[in-house]
A and B are shown apart, each in its own frame.
Chain A
Amino acid sequence: MRLNIVIGGAAGQGINKVSTIVSNILVKYGYFTFNYRDYQSLIRGGHSFNTLSISDSQIHSHYASIDIIVALNKRALETHKPALKKGGMIIIAKEFKKEGRNLNIALAGALLKILGIPLENLNEEIKLEFKDFDKALISAKKGYDSESEKFVLKKLDNKITILSGSNAMAIGAKNANLDIYIGYPMTPSTNALHAMAKDQIKNKMLVFQAENEISVISMALGASFAGAKSMVGTSGGGYDLMSESLSLQGITEIPLVVYLASRVGPGTGVPTYTAQSDLDIALRAGHGEFPRVVIAPGTPTENIEIVADALFLSEKFKMLSIILSDKHLAESEFSTTLTPKKATKITVKRSVPGTSIVKASSYESDKFGNSTESYILTEANVDKRMQKYNRAKEYINSNLEMVKIHGKKNSKNLIVGWGSTSGVIIDAIRDLDAKFLQVIYMKPLSSLIRKELEKADNVILIECNATGQLGRLIREKTGIKIENRLLKYNGRPFHEDELKIYLGEML
């Protein structure tokens, strides 16, 4: 069972409110939801929409074709009508104009009636959310009575939670006992900053907004040097500003985790849309040669686990850990029954100021931490950093899940992908003769990748960028070029139905 509902209108009309109420109810009712948020870089007006996808089994994606449209204005109706399936339904907000502030509740009511979910579920939700709910209950009933049942969703017995990548960052940080998070607002990393800031006191954490990203990362290095487990968050442009300090991390070996949530570049690009085009800079930004790990979660649950792993690795190997995400993962609302693995305990054992004399320098340094230009020490320090990377690689190889295999394990058709594109691939190949290799560790890269590529007859690379950055990385490390590529770079993630059609042609 799968339904896709588009809720569209102008920014400020409360699209998110409708989808939030309905998904909360659906999840309690035992259904899996996936909510894609499409919005422009403006505060009021324009056109935004959410696609709320519903299923009785685990999903991580949405469709292009629509079963129900909830139109908050004319533009929404005109924009989405061409994608409405034959026999699809339309709910028009204008009909509930009289409900005023409770318009969204009336719309939720109408939607739930179409889905065949009893009104009492909405009433319960309203009582939970609002103090003054009498009027809201009346609006809910009005909306509910305006439609007739089209689908009958039976109550299912699933324990499901809704999670976005941004919330996952905050949960992961809490689980790993992060001390300090520093950021500067930039979509799509901002929601993680907000989520971390909200419960900072309760979570015994400090969340600081600095004057720019250069300051953000400089402060984080200072804080980490003083013994605090520290993380920064940003998007492409802000990350560019941080590059020089990534390099400072390399030479000072002060542990640091960077959360990089990509959006469409170059430049300011299409700021509220998604892309997987920053893998190159995640891997390489910063002058000089120094070790790092780059980890790309595909779902919020993986994201929670990866926060702890990234912090652990950065502390253990005094290294830079980059968590690579994007707008689609950070801001879409996933739902799941999975619980993340327990976070590894991270203890800071290094010497810190206050109790000993510790020196960290942006210059190559001697054993006292003071500058040196000696060729012997320079070479020795480089070797030390490279050996450290090898140790980290060995540790990751034997302890962490660097890739995941989904789909038909024995299929000769292999799809290769990563990050936020993973979810839609998993969903799209469910009924196909295909196996999906999800790359989670971008650096170091798993040796399993070569083995899988060699076993397959037909390999397809799927990414949301124009140059196939993972494909290039794999070619660099294995010498194998993946010829078949499915690349999308218009700021929108793949839809499941769209991907199925492409794969049908390619397999």
Chain B
Amino acid sequence: MVKKIIKKSPKTKQIKKAAPPKPNKNIIKLKLDLGTKSENTWCPGCPNFMILEAVKRTLATYIDSKKYKKEDFAITADIGCHGKIFDYLNLSGIYGLHGRAIPTAIGMKLGNPNLKVITFVGDGAIYSEGISHLIHAFKENPDMSLFVHDNQVFSLTTGQSTPTSQTGYVTKSEPLGEFDKPLNPIKIALASNATFIARVNARDTPHMVEIMTKAINHRGFSFVEIMQDCIIFNMDQNFKDKRMYKIPDNKDIKIAEKLASEFNYNSKEEKIPMGVLYHNDQPCLEDRWPQLVDLQKRKVGWINK
């Protein structure tokens, strides 16, 4: 049995890098239109810029395909460096409270199930303050996407340890060093019946676009962990790129469990599988509530019920 799983190991079945979508003029225009005039206050060189670029490309392609218009998207953002993406995207949404971006987003879907909702959070935000909401979102499976900017540190509050920071990490608030082992969010997701789990590298824009598109297409709660270096705090955790390898989309729960165990957020040697680590189809929240099914059929929110 064990052998069989090892045989199926995705390491042996790597796929070719997906070709980046060819930028056309319209997409460039749409991307511009997705930006705002707000002054960008991320540190020069912060990979958050690349996440922003990937989101714009993904959504511009979506809008270009005429499947959705810009107004159909709504976002929620948490508080932290990552959350500033809210100010840089010309999209509807709520820049919410620390830890509460998920329930705020689920609320939007209850208020209008036709919206395409994306939530941006940090590892501090979602694995500390908002962990209960994350687990329940996996369970409820609302049709929305969660993008976690995981830099393994509380950056905007100047570098304290988060639940995914490495053991021994010394900070101003924990000068004796972090005593705990980091949480493994992928395992939590699997244990909570997540229907879409992916991991991407913030320095790999084309891959981000590919996975973000899949996440948004997934009917249900799509959880995307974006491994993002912070170039100011906890730099020890940077430079993981060389250990990352891409896997084909996986639907097998056994394989998913194995993939989840490969990287423990602590080690400096382990390989890190990237891509869709697990996905399956389960009815989403909006398809289980008759009231919401009705609103979707009629393509309206409560406002026009």
A residues lining the B interface (CB < 8 Å): 179-180, 182, 200-201, 204-206, 208, 210-212, 214-216, 218-230, 244-245, 248, 252, 254, 348, 352-363, 366, 368, 370-371
Residues of B within 8 A of A218 (CB): 96-97, 100, 103-104, 107, 133
Tell me the chain B residues, 98-128 only, with Cβ under 8 Å from chain A. Answer: 99-100, 103-112, 114-115
**Assembly CA distance A355 to B73 (angstroms):** 10
Interface size class of B (residues with CB under 8 A): 35 or more
The 6 residue pairs across chains A and B that have the minimum distance between CB atoms: A222-B107, A226-B111, A227-B303, A219-B107, A223-B111, A353-B92
The answer to whether B292 touches A210 (Cβ under 8 A) is no
**Assembly CA distance A204 to B96 (angstroms):** 28
Residues of A within 8 A of B291 (CB): 200-201, 204-206
Residues of B within 8 A of A353 (CB): 71-74, 92-93, 108, 112, 115
The answer to whether B79 touches A226 (Cβ under 8 A) is no
Given contacts A179-B305, A220-B107, A354-B301, 7 further A-B contacts (CB under 8 A): A179-B111, A218-B96, A218-B100, A221-B104, A353-B92, A359-B94, A370-B86
The answer to whether B87 touches A354 (Cβ under 8 A) is no
Query: Contacts A201-B290, A368-B36 given: A362-B95 contact, CB under 8 Å?
Result: yes
The answer to whether B301 touches A206 (Cβ under 8 A) is no
B residues lining the A interface (CB < 8 Å): 36-38, 70-74, 76, 79, 84, 86-87, 90-97, 99-100, 103-112, 114-115, 132-133, 136, 289-292, 301-303, 305
The answer to whether A224 touches B111 (Cβ under 8 A) is yes
The answer to whether B133 touches A215 (Cβ under 8 A) is yes
Query: Contacts A204-B291, A354-B72 given: A361-B86 contact, CB under 8 Å?
Result: yes
Nearest-Cβ distance from residue A361 to partner chain B, whole angstroms:
4
The answer to whether B97 touches A226 (Cβ under 8 A) is no
The answer to whether A226 touches B36 (Cβ under 8 A) is no
The answer to whether A206 touches B303 (Cβ under 8 A) is no
Residues of B within 8 A of A229 (CB): 302
Residues of B within 8 A of A359 (CB): 86, 92-95
Nearest-Cβ distance from residue A449 to partner chain B, whole angstroms:
36
The answer to whether A180 touches B111 (Cβ under 8 A) is yes
Closest to A349 in B: B303
**Assembly CA distance A356 to B70 (angstroms):** 9
Residues of B within 8 A of A211 (CB): 132-133, 136
**Highest count of chain B CB atoms <10 Å: which of A220, A221, A252:** A221
The answer to whether A206 touches B110 (Cβ under 8 A) is yes
The answer to whether B94 touches A357 (Cβ under 8 A) is no
From A214, A219, A356, A363, B95 is in contact (CB under 8 Å) with: A363
Nearest-Cβ distance from residue B98 to partner chain A, whole angstroms:
9
**Assembly CA distance A206 to B91 (angstroms):** 27
Nearest-Cβ distance from residue A248 to partner chain B, whole angstroms:
5
Residues of B within 8 A of A208 (CB): 110
**Assembly CA distance A387 to B87 (angstroms):** 27
